[in-house]
Amino acid sequence: MEISKVARRDSLCKPDAICLRCFNSQQQLRFPFLVYCEHRNTLALIRSARDSTTFPCAPAQLHGLLARLDSAAVRTPRAAVPSADQAAVR
């Protein structure tokens, strides 16, 4: 059995609103990716090693928020997710 080790070229900045345990267990090798922290009720969209947006999100709200993010991605692929300020207004 061959063991491979994958390393990122750039270090990844973890959003403060996401706990390290959730971040480590859900991070991906490709961008963008989502991380949900059930301990802090927060969803984070990680766009790049240095760019992320977080959304307050109780477990009961998760399905609806993911649907909104998905529909926004279909309408405008490059600017798929609103900023945290815009999301709070909605």
Query: What per-residue confidence (pLDDT) applies to 73?
Result: 75
CA 64 → CA 2, 55, 67, 70, distances in Å?
Answer: 41, 12, 5, 10
Higher pLDDT, 67 or 78: 67
Query: What per-residue confidence (pLDDT) applies to 53?
Result: 94
- What is the percent of the chain where pLDDT is above 70? 71
In this prediction the pTM is 0.69
Residues 6+ apart with CB under 8 A from 72: 80, 81, 82
Q: What secondary structure does DSSP assign to 13-53, as a single string?
A: PPPTTS-HHHHHHH--SSSSEEEEETTTTEEEEE-SSS-EE
Tens-place pLDDT, residues 11-49: 889 999 999 999 999 999 899 999 999 999 999 999 999
